[in-house]
Structure 1
Amino acid sequence: MFFTYLRRELRRRRKAALVVASGLALGIALVIVVNSVSSGMGKAQDKVLESLYGLGTDMTVTKAAPASSDGSPQRPRFRFDAQNGEEEQSSDRVLVQGFETLADSTIAKVGDQEGVSDAVGGLSLQVLKVNGNFTPGQFQQGDGGGRGDDGGGSQPPGGEVRGGGADFDVDSYSVYGTDVTEPALGPLTSSKITSGRTFTSSETNAKVVIADSAYAKEKSLKTGSTVTIKGTKFKVIGIATADSGDAAANLYIPLKQAQTLSDSKNKVTTIYVQATDSQQIDSVKSEIQKNISGTTVTTSADLADTVSGSLSTASDLAASVGKWLSIVVLVAAFLVAGLLTSSAVSRRVREFGTLKALGWKSGRVTRQVVGEAMVNGLLGGALGIALGLAGAYVVTAISPTLQAQLGGGDGGGGGGVMGGGPARQASSTTLDVALTAPVSLTTVALAVALAVTGGLIAGAFGGWRASRLRPADALRRVE
């Protein structure tokens, strides 16, 4: 009887049911689109942040480099012998970049902290190569015929050196020492090997190198080429292309080789940390800073502060304006649905009065009204999910391009602009990120819950109105 009456009343009041369902559908569709776009922006930000420190890294541990006594940065010194004529002269300086070094033992200490799944060390270096030659000048004899300042006699014969000089070229590039036994962490994980191969675990001290694709193109390097760093020849075994378009370093070599070249035996500049649970990153950060003094721990949340541009702006809008707009629209839709249902009950006073006169209890009338409202809510949920999926599909199909600007700040890392990883050669980099709007099962479940909630709210309005009707009063009224 319940379902028969329900079906008949919904069919008889199709327009009213459609109005209620449409209002709920618009609110639910907006929630789906906003949540999907926010999720897409979150993934875009994750992709940008991964380009800063590598895939799988939850935080980095570094130690700020101490300032010199006069407060000015230390500069490399180059010494050449100018007596070698036009003979070519060259000198390399391999410098630790950005941070004070940490002992290898610190990696084990970090790895032993509660909540840490894995910890890997890396050494960031900057190589300055000066190459060129001196050309000696030629001494030319003077005529010695001039008179002195007092006019009393001639000056002794003289001359001057003419010509000569120096022609030197300065080349600067970044080198990163990576732990080849732990390929799952570190900045190299944000690049893909597009030619050749990556390191093997047995190449801990091998003279092999992976070159960034942009640097390889600039220097005409390819797989099998040879690169000389501070007099040591390395064989190029692979070419890597950064996912973000901005590589962490120009060259990657095994960590032990980097330590040897920079006279930094058993030293690292950065420790890459992976947490056992992404929800406990803040507590792990506090634990490391508490137990390992003097270090700076940088998380992805800290790095997010260094990301600016349209991606950051749109993300803020989606997180604040978009969500508040969704809430306002939902509240309005629920109120409208409740008021329309209550109004419909008022127009059905004679009907409900007759049913009560025939023996229907107030509870049965209320259940009938709530049942109709629930069907309207579920119908609105179905329409809202369809509209929301369509909106998310349109956003993904269009894939609007947002820009993310990296750098321009310390990022919490205590030195490098990228917060713990090897610093980029530019102070800031702009990346183009395509926006998508993935719809998760959680979002769909939220939409269903909202549809049920909307139906219950509307049914509560109408049921409360219907339960207050008295048969005698209802029968005295004429529609």
Structure 2
Amino acid sequence: MFFTYLRRELRRRRKAALVVASGLALGIALVIVVSSVSSGMSQAQDKVLQSLYGLGTDMTVTKAAAPPGEGDTNRRRFEFDAKGDTDAEQSSDRVMVQGFQTLASSTVTEVGGQDGVAQAVGGLSLTVLKVNGEFKPGEFTPPEGGGRTGQGGTGGGGEVRGGGAAFDVNSYSVFGTDVAAPALGPLTSSKVTTGRTFQSTETDAAVAVVDSAYAKEKSLAVGKTVTISGTKFSIIGVATADSGDSAANLYIPLKKAQTLADSKDKVTTVYVKAADSQQIESVKSAIQKNIPDTTVTTSADLASTVSGSLSTASDLATTVGTWLSIAVLIAAFLVAGLLTSSAVSRRVREFGTLKALGWKSGRVTRQVVGEALVNGLLGGVLGIALGLGGAYLVTAISPTLTAQLGSTGGGGFAGGGPMGGGPARQAASKALDIALTAPVSVSTIGLAVGLAVAGGLIAGGFGGWRASRLRPADALRRVE
């Protein structure tokens, strides 16, 4: 009897049911679109941070570079041999630690021993300045009419013309990576597209993986060699960064990098993976407490420094979009409730007659709530369809957002130094273009269904309360 009467009444009041369902559908669709866009923002931000950190890295441990003082011997200095053939090309390399003060390799073991740390790996970030060119001697032109010898036997009146020096300066970044732990560090944010990556046995081998953009610029490929400070490295692989912006131009085994930089048993960055993602802050606190004079930077610290259109759009989605969704939902629920209550007012004769025939108030209330709940579910179906369409449209258009990572205020990836920061600082110094998507998760669909049920119950609550107060006498007074 309940379902028969319910089906008949919904069919008889199709227009009213469609109006209520449409209002709920708009609110639910907006919630789905805002939720999916927010999820896309989060994924885009994770992609930016992953390109800087490396896949699986939860935090880094560094030591900020000390300000240069008087008598600093770590200044850039190049020496050339002026003897022999002066037309021969001169070349000199300077390998410098980039950005941070070095940490002892034992720090990696110490960090790995902290509670909550699953794995810790060290890396050494270097900058290579290469200067090459040639000296050209000038030509002495005697004075017209001959010269006159003065005191000391020196001729006078002539001049030297031409000559000079022409040198090119090339700078590129090199990152020493622990080949025994390939699952952690900046190289994991790149995919080896040609050749292979390092093998665990190549801890002291003269091999290198080159970034694809740098390889294209310098015409490098697998099988060729690249010379760093007089040492030839065989290129075994070409890697392409997921974000399009690499952490370094060249990757070499950590031990080789330490030898080139005269930094034996030294690292600039310790990459840390936490055993539990929910305990990252507690692990950070433990490292800062137990290993003094270090800076621990987490992905949350970096996320707070992301600027550009990605940050602006994310703020809009999480603030304006969220509050707009809430406002629309409240309005939709109120309108649905008022329309249902109004419909009950127009059905006074019907419900009064039913009560006169023996229907109790609870039965009438259940009937009204049942009708409202069906309207809510219908609105949920329409809202999910509209929301999926909106999310698909956002993904199809894929608007491009720009992300820029600013300074974290000391240490971390944005540490200071004469050359900027660590290996990730290079990537952070350039804007990254990210295509926005709007993925719809199962939880979002579940939220939409819950809202549809809630909307139906709220509307039914309004109407049921009104219906429960009707008396059979009301129906009799309206009989013509």
Q: Same fold, TM exceeding 0.5?
A: yes
- Could you tell me which residue of structure 2 aligns to residue 57 of structure 1? 57
Q: C-alpha deviations, 1:202-244, integer Å up to 9, x for none?
A: 1111110011112112222111111111111110001111122
What is the CA–CA distance in structure 2 between the aligned matches of 1:351 and 1:334, rounded to whole Å? 25
Superposed CA RMSD in Å reads 2.6
1:342-389 deviations in Å (ceiling 9; x for gaps): 111111112222222222222121111111111111111111111111
Provide the secondary structure at the position in 2 that maps to 1:227: strand
Counterpart amino acid of residue 338 in structure 2: L
How many Å separate the matches in 1 of 2:218 and 2:290?
Answer: 45
| Kept in 2: contact 1:247–1:424 (CA 8 A) | no
Which is worse superposed, 162-171 or 312-321? Answer: 162-171
Distance change (3 Å), C-alpha of 1:72 and 1:426: farther
Q: How many residues align?
A: 473
Give, in whole Å, the separation in 2 of the partners of 1:426 and 1:44: 16
Which has the larger displacement, 183-192 or 77-86? Answer: 77-86
CA contact (8 A) 1:249 1:424 kept: no
Structure 1 residues 410 and 134: alpha-carbon distance in aligned structure 2, compared to 1, 3 A threshold:
farther
For 1:468 and 1:72, the matched residues in 2 are separated by 90
Give, in whole Å, the separation in 2 of the partners of 1:415 and 1:73: 21
- Per-residue deviation, 1:403: 2.3
Q: Distance in 2 between matches of 1:71 and 1:393?
A: 62
Task: Report if the CA contact (8 A) 1:353-1:474 is conserved.
Answer: yes
Contact 1:60 1:420 in 2 (8 A): no
Q: Is 2:58 the counterpart of 1:20?
A: no
| Residue 216 in structure 1 maps to residue 215 in structure 2 | yes
Question: For residue 67 of structure 1, what is the aligned residue in structure 2?
Answer: 67
SS of the aligned residue for 1:429 comes to: coil
Checking the alignment, whether the CA contact within 8 Å between 1:407 and 1:429 is kept in structure 2 is no
8 Å Cα contact 1:23-1:333 kept in structure 2: yes
More displaced, 92-101 or 417-426? 417-426
Partners of 2:416 and 2:247 lie apart in 1 by: 11
1:67-216 equivalent positions in 2, closer than 5 A: 67-70=67-70, 74-86=74-86, 87-138=88-139, 157-158=155-156, 162-163=160-161, 164-216=163-215
* 1:212–1:239 CA contact under 8 A, matched in 2: yes
CA contact (8 A) 2:150 2:156 kept: no
Which ranges of structure 2 fall in alignment gaps of 5 or more residues? none
Which residue identity lines up with residue 246 of structure 1 in the other structure? D
Range 198-207 or range 164-173, more displaced: 164-173
**For 1:462 and 1:70, how far apart are their aligned partners in 2?**
83
Q: How far did residue 133 of structure 1 move?
A: 3.0
Identical amino acids, percent of aligned pairs: 77
- Given residue 129 of structure 1, which amino acid in structure 2 is its aligned partner? K
> Which residue is 2:242 aligned to?
243
Counterpart position of 1:152: none
| Alignment-derived partner of residue 383 in structure 1 | 382
Structure 1, 406-415 or 270-279: larger mean CA deviation: 406-415
Where does residue 403 of structure 2 map in the other structure?
A: 404
Q: 2 CA distance for matches of 1:195 and 1:403?
A: 29
Deviation at 1:306, TM superposition (A): 3.6
Per-residue deviation, 1:301: 2.0
Q: SS in structure 2 opposite 1:35?
A: helix
Q: Which amino acid aligns with 1:374?
A: L
Would the aligned equivalents of 1:369 and 1:459 in 2 still touch at CA under 8 Å?
yes
TM-score (norm 1): 0.92
- Partner-residue secondary structure (3-state), 2:238: strand
CA 1:147 to 1:248, structure 2 compared with 1: closer, same or farther past 3 Å?
A: closer
Q: Which letter maps to 1:307?
A: V
* Partner AA of 2:346 in structure 1: R
Deviation at 1:146, TM superposition (A): 11
The one-letter code matched in structure 1 to 2:29 is: A
